[in-house]
A and B are shown apart, each in its own frame.
Chain A
Amino acid sequence: MTTTRRDFLTAAAATAGAAMTPDVSQAHQHEHEHQHQAVPSDPALRVKSLESLLVEKGLVDRAALDALVDAYEHKIGPRNGARVVARAWADSGYKQRLLSDADAAIAEMGYGGLQGEHMVVVENSAKVHNLVVCTLCSCYPWPVLGLPPVWYKSAPYRSRAVIDPRGVLREFGLELPEDVEVRLWDSTAELRYLVLPERPAGTEGISEEALAALVTRDAMVGVAKVSVSKAGNAA
């Protein structure tokens, strides 16, 4: 049995396209592409075969799969979190509720559910910068940020955020002054973390909707700040 399993794993690992988003560096990935070029099996075929088996056995309903994919491709994503942040910036009462009982405050906005059952919101300020990682797997607050980007799930980020957060932030183009306290949150349990970024200067009097358009996913993970110049950038 062990042999069969290893064969499967090897086959599953055998193919690698550029968009396959490996954990190891691009250079290593390139080597593997060459090594395994002749191997016919690829994950697309294996997954297709697995799906038709499970459907044929009556274990899986294709419509349920479609609904799940649709939810995360089209309905749930970082725009939800951006609206939460904008509301907190615009309404100090809401912000207090968000920081003291994140689940209830996020539910007020109509968000919640899978992988956001137990939320914690941490606030950035001129003196404190928060950054979120999951060193053990890929834990991430789905209802407010959607599914995590590849870099968040990758070995480089998972390994380094915890030991060298300032270096990681520098890689994202954010240089923090030494007197700013960095708080790194390793989401090892079932709590899911959302960073409440600092509201940028020069946004006084603009609408909540316009504020939400400034808030990026990266700022809500803590690898960026929100700036006025990044308006409209969905990243």
Chain B
Amino acid sequence: MNGVHDMGGMHGMGPIVEDKNEPVFHQEWEGRIFAMNRAMGAWGKWNLDASRHSKEVIPPAEYLRMSYYERWVAGLVELIVQSGLTTRAEIESGAPASGSVRSLPALTANKAVALVEKGVPARRSVNVAARFQVGQRVRARNMHPVGHTRLPRYARGKFGTIDRDHGVFVFPDTNAHFLGEKPQHVYSVRFGARELWGTQAGEKDSVYVDMWDDYLEPA
């Protein structure tokens, strides 16, 4: 979707503010919502792509006004309500509905440690033919899906070169909407900075964007 989250190339967002002695979490609740996202994800009701999309659908003005972890709160609430793990009334009241069944947590402390150490690979060992070869000139498709996509707007319609083939990965555009993993090759595509931004960009500079097969067409 052409949301405000797709920020590459926008102006007017202000200076970059670096806090030299920044804590990992600024307030306790930030750590709690971070951890709750992982713990609730363990129920397998959604995936990483759906989780990213849950923040993209926050209306633009609210998205910009919120702090980073406030978006995580909003996103998690959407996911747990949509997946039926809780009702909105329960979230508003802070208490389980009367008669609701108590579950056993999907993620224990031991499993949490294993999750952190092992991760959740998005690469798939399935045999899918690559549509493009390293060194090939390609064009990023000029497409504007209303759902989740990882093709940034600034690259659409632009010409680049396949720099590296990363192998086969889950396709976020379908996976985010529970329409299947549609595994396909992901490439690092090199775009000349001037192809993207015109002569204001450095002549020798380039931007590398990781792109799925479905984002590309031969040039």
Contact = CB atoms under 8 A, between A and B. Distances in A.
Contact of B206 (A5, A43, A114, A181): A181
Interface string A167-203: 0100110000011111111111111000000000000
B119 A158 contact: no
Contacts of A60: 36, 39-40, 105, 107
A153 B115 CA distance: 23
Contacts of B70: 12-13, 20, 43
Contact of A22 (B67, B94, B103, B104): B67
Contacts of B9: 159, 162-163
Interface in B72-119: 73-74, 76-78, 80, 85-86, 88, 90-92, 94-96, 100, 102-109, 111-113, 115-119
A156 interface: yes
Contacts of A228: none
B68 A159 contact: no
A162 B207 contact: yes
B115 A165 contact: no
Interface of B: 5-11, 13-22, 24-29, 31-36, 38-40, 43, 52, 55, 58-59, 62-70, 73-74, 76-78, 80, 85-86, 88, 90-92, 94-96, 100, 102-109, 111-113, 115-123, 150-152, 154, 166, 169-170, 186, 188, 193, 196-197, 201-202, 204-212
Contact of A189 (B15, B86, B106, B211): B211
A51 B111 CA distance: 19
A59 B103 contact: yes
B28 A44 contact: yes
Interface in A92-124: 112-118, 120
A55 to B, nearest CB: 8
A136 B94 contact: no
B210 A187 contact: yes
Contacts of B62: 9-10, 13
B204 A179 contact: yes
Contact of A48 (B29, B86, B107, B169): B29
Nearest to B209: A186
A231 interface: no
A171 B15 contact: yes
B188 A44 contact: no
A113 B100 CA distance: 35
Contact of B18 (A28, A120, A151): A151
A24 B13 contact: yes
Contacts of B123: 117-118, 190
Contact of A69 (B35, B78, B106, B186): B35
Given A43-B29, A63-B109, A116 B119 contact: yes
A136 B209 CA distance: 11
A79 to B, nearest CB: 13
Contacts of A26: 14, 17
A121 B83 CA distance: 37
B112 A64 contact: yes
Given A23-B67, A59-B103, A159-B13, A44 B29 contact: yes
B102 A58 contact: yes
Contacts of A184: 193, 205-208
Interface stretch (A82-90, A142-150, A205-213): A142-150
Interface centre among A112, A158, A162, A187 (most CB of B within 10 A): A162
A38 interface: no
Contact of A183 (B14, B150, B208, B210): B208
A30 interface: no
Q: What 8 pairs between A and B have smallest CB-CB spacing?
A: A135-B8, A189-B210, A25-B14, A61-B105, A68-B35, A49-B94, A58-B103, A190-B122
Contacts of A163: 8-9, 154, 196-197, 201
Contacts of A47: 29, 32-33, 36, 73
Nearest to A35: B65
B13 A160 contact: yes
A19 B26 contact: yes
B189 to A, nearest CB: 10
A204 interface: no
